[in-house]
Amino acid sequence: MQAPLIDNLQYANWSEKVFRQLRGGGVDAVHVTIAYHENFREMVANLEAWNLWFERFPGLIFKGTTAADVRRAQETRRTAVFFGFQTPSPIEDDIGLVEIVHQLGVRFMQLSYNNQSLLATGCYEDEDPGLTRMGRAVVEEMNRVGLVVDMSHSAERSTLEAIDHSTRPIAITHANPDWWHPARRNKSDAVLRALTNAGGMLGFSLYPHHLAGGTNCRLSDFCEMAAEAASRYGAENLGIGSDLCQDQPDSVVAWMRAGRWTKAADYGEGSADAPGFPPMPDWFQDNRDWDNLRDGLRETGFSREETDGLLGGNWLRFYETSFGPA
């Protein structure tokens, strides 16, 4: 069977149109965010919404929980949907909920989202004391049940400590190297070497604030960055986590940034005047544009095997060893 196409992070405004575009682009699996600031019960309401989509569009999507579901998606020409949190807030202050959310089908959880959490420090804080006592305990529990540690929005020391403390490889599902573009959310060479030396995965982000040149980033520049990253960290440790936020209103950015922790606006990276989703680069507007990325990687010098790995094969291998009990 051919290598799968896996996007390991999207937060689209889900609809039949987007589901059909996933199929039009041949996306076999997608990791979707189901929590930014939600508590446990609110997260469950998001699961309820997904269950309705699975009922309404069974010919397009289904819930994925194991690597075998990616192959089932290929065989049935559907898209397997894997759930993840960009925050630990759904487990509240209860370590027992780690196993519960895994039983509900969640497979990725970030230890922090921009700010300090009960577990780790986010990348927007001035000080980074690293993993908390609860953070270390939760990482151990995540390792035990097969819930992947994701440090995409976490600060440097916290990320390095998570890599070191975890007995299983972790992921940075959607970010780019900061030596290419110095966004606060992008990751240092030290972090990426530690991540990949421990068998972890980096998913390259296509979100404009994470790209050199933003919306105007050229495909060739992105692919040359990927080639340099492959030379430093090994192509086998790289994939895509596009961070595609298709059809989301700008009000959602305010929710993502500010949540409930401040009464003021928190604009984060990008415009200093107002939050909003910047236009995607012209070579990746939606899920029908994956062939542009495939062609760009091949033209940059990646082999067919390496390209297949970057576009999904490497994530599938990671799924195979990450989603079950240790």
| 240, 94 contact by CB (below 8 A) | no
C-alpha distances in Å from residue 105, one per residue of 44, 85, 259, 285: 11, 11, 24, 29
Per residue in 71-91, pLDDT tens?
999 999 999 999 999 999 999
pLDDT at 273: 46
Measured CA distances, 56 to 28, 52, 73, 80, 222 (Å): 19, 6, 17, 15, 37
Residue whose C-alpha is closest to residue 210's, from 277, 129, 298: 277
Tell me the mean pLDDT in the region 129-138.
Answer: 98
pLDDT score of 227: 98
pLDDT one-digit tens code per residue, 238-279: 999 999 999 888 888 888 888 888 888 776 654 444 567 889
With a cut of 80, say whether residue 221 has pLDDT above it.
yes
Average pLDDT on 222-234 reads 98
Distance between first and last Cα of the chain: 28
Residue 274: per-residue pLDDT = 52
Q: Is 175 left (phi over 0), alpha (psi -120 to 50) or beta?
A: beta
At 196-216, the pLDDT tens digits run: 999 999 999 999 999 999 999
Q: Which pLDDT does position 276 carry in this prediction?
A: 75
pLDDT at 127 over 50: yes
Please name each of the domains of the chain with its CATH number.
Answer: 6-322 (3.20.20.140)
Q: What is the 3-state secondary structure (H, E, C) of the chain?
A: CCCCCEEEEECCCCCHHHHHHHHHCCCCEEEEEEECCCCHHHHHHHHHHHHHHHHHCCCCEEECCCHHHHHHHHHHCCEEEEEEECCCHHHCCCCHHHHHHHHCCEEEEECCCCCCCCCCCECCCCCCCCCCHHHHHHHHHHHHHCCEEECCCECHHHHHHHHHHCCCCCEECCCCECCCCCCCCCECHHHHHHHHHCCCEEEECCCHHHCCCHHHCCHHHHHHHHHHHHHHHCHHHEEECCCECCCCCHHHHHHHHHCCCCCCCCCCCCCCCCCCCCCCCCCCCCHHHHHHHHHHHHHHCCCHHHHHHHHHHHHHHHHHHHCCCC
| Residue written as token pair 């030379």 | 231
Backbone dihedral angles phi then psi of residue 94, each to the nearest 5 degrees? -125, 105
**Do β-strands 6-10 and 61-63 pair in parallel, antiparallel, or remain unpaired?**
unpaired
Read off the tokens for 25: 């682009």
> Which residues does 275 contact at the CB level (< 8 Å), separation at least 6?
250, 253, 254, 257, 265, 267, 268
